[in-house]
Structure 1
Amino acid sequence: MSTSTTDGRPMRADARRNRRRVLDAARVAFEEGGNEVQMEDIARRAGVGIGTIYRHFPTKQALVDELTSEWLAEGAANAAKALELDDPWEGLARFVQLSSEVMARNRGLRDVFGDVGRLFEEDARVQNHELSANVTLLLDRARNAGTLRDDIGFDEFRALMCGLAMAVTGSAPGKHHTYADVVLKGLHT
């Protein structure tokens, strides 16, 4: 999150608070409504004028990119927690399960992950190298332990996780557990 103005000066405290209010309101709005959320709704939720949003985020896409950055950082933290588990398969399984739980409650994240190519391209607007590194470690550990199929690399896993996000979209409450289990059964040797 930027704490500087475009000319490099530190952002005033009230501007930082307003920016955070906008992000918090946008997070809730996007989690509930996905990319269909209107900027006016976010302004209402944040208790600010629409101009305040556009001062911090000149486009809706800039706001989505900032939220995506936060969501990916949370994914990196979840992958790091999963790496703390001693059993490599349990670590990978825990990450898939945690991810499915997040996807189940976050329509905006599902919208982002539904666009497989955009999110993970080398030149994507928003990237999280820690998430990629942690997931790669989870996969390598499970493969080296003989519990992950040899033909599943980072690209294949990424595509499956994007598919999981799409499966969760519009599904009945609680079905994300079923879909995560199916993915895990397909990954396991």
Structure 2
Amino acid sequence: MTTAPSSPRPLRADARRNRRRVLEAARAAFEEAGNEAQMEDIAKRAGVGVGTIYRHFPTKQALIDELTAEWMADGAAKAADALAEPDPWDGVVLFVRRSADIMVRNRGLREVFGDVGQLFEEDAPVQNHDLQVKVAALLARAHTAGVLRADVGVNEFRALMCGLAMAITNTPPGAHQLYADVILKGLKAP
């Protein structure tokens, strides 16, 4: 007779609070310093010991993966807002501009999106089906309305957004709007 695998025990209330504090501190640290953020600094921000971080996230990459999942969920929410725009082109514009605004403030997100291969491979450690579906719907709606270039699909759009992330790195204040404008002009159907 085989026994069914046991499901992981739910976290105690204090462990859940510590995990949330670690994630909030890590999010702030990675937004500021990107991959240069140190676990010791995150622990200090969260008011916990480094061991607490490692109990929840065995490696720095595991913590980055968790943050990436949160950032992608945020992106899915942005895409949903863009889909709610009545005009298909306005929806694309809203998504690109909001993404640029967030990227300018979030170094960690720029670094994650700057690595196109890591983020969009089929076997990538972190994926968000909801984000993919919503962005595809946003683009399909714009294609149907004839406002988006016919030769721009999901893969091309992803590459452009990843390029936007890299272009924003180390730019003067406000330059991200210029880069978003250039991308939008290139996306617009003739």
Residue aligning to 2:20:
20
Which ranges in structure 2 are unaligned for 5 or more consecutive residues?
A: 1-5
Is residue 166 from structure 1 mapped to residue 170 from structure 2 by the alignment?
Answer: no
Q: 1:32 to 1:98 in 2, by over 3 A?
A: same
The answer to whether 1:39 aligns with 2:39 is yes
Distance of 1:9 and 1:29 partners within structure 2: 29
Which runs of 5 or more residues in structure 1 are unaligned?
A: 1-5
Moved over 3 A (4+): none
Within 1, Cα distance between the matches of 2:92 and 2:188? 10
**Deviation per CA, 1:57-116, whole angstroms, max 9, x where unpaired?**
000000000000000000000000000011000001100001001100000000000100
For residues 104 and 134 of structure 1, the distance between their equivalents in structure 2, rounded to whole angstroms, comes to 23
Partner of 1:118: 118
CA distance in structure 1 between the partners assigned to 2:51 and 2:68 by the alignment: 22
Higher radius of gyration, 1 or 2: 2
Letter in 1 for 2:89: W
Counting aligned pairs with the same residue, the percent is 70
Show the counterpart of 1:92: 92
Kindly report which structure 2 residues correspond to 1:71-90, keeping only aligned pairs within 5 A, or say none: 71-90=71-90
Q: Distance in 2 between matches of 1:127 and 1:159?
A: 16
Give me the whole-angstrom Cα distance separating, in 2, the residues matched to 1:81 and 1:92: 10
Whole-angstrom distance in 2 between the partners of 1:60 and 1:10: 23
TM-score scaled by structure 1? 0.96
Aligned length: 184
Amino acid at match of 1:59: T
Residue equivalent to 1:29: 29
Q: Aligned partners of 1:135 and 1:106: how far apart in 2?
A: 21
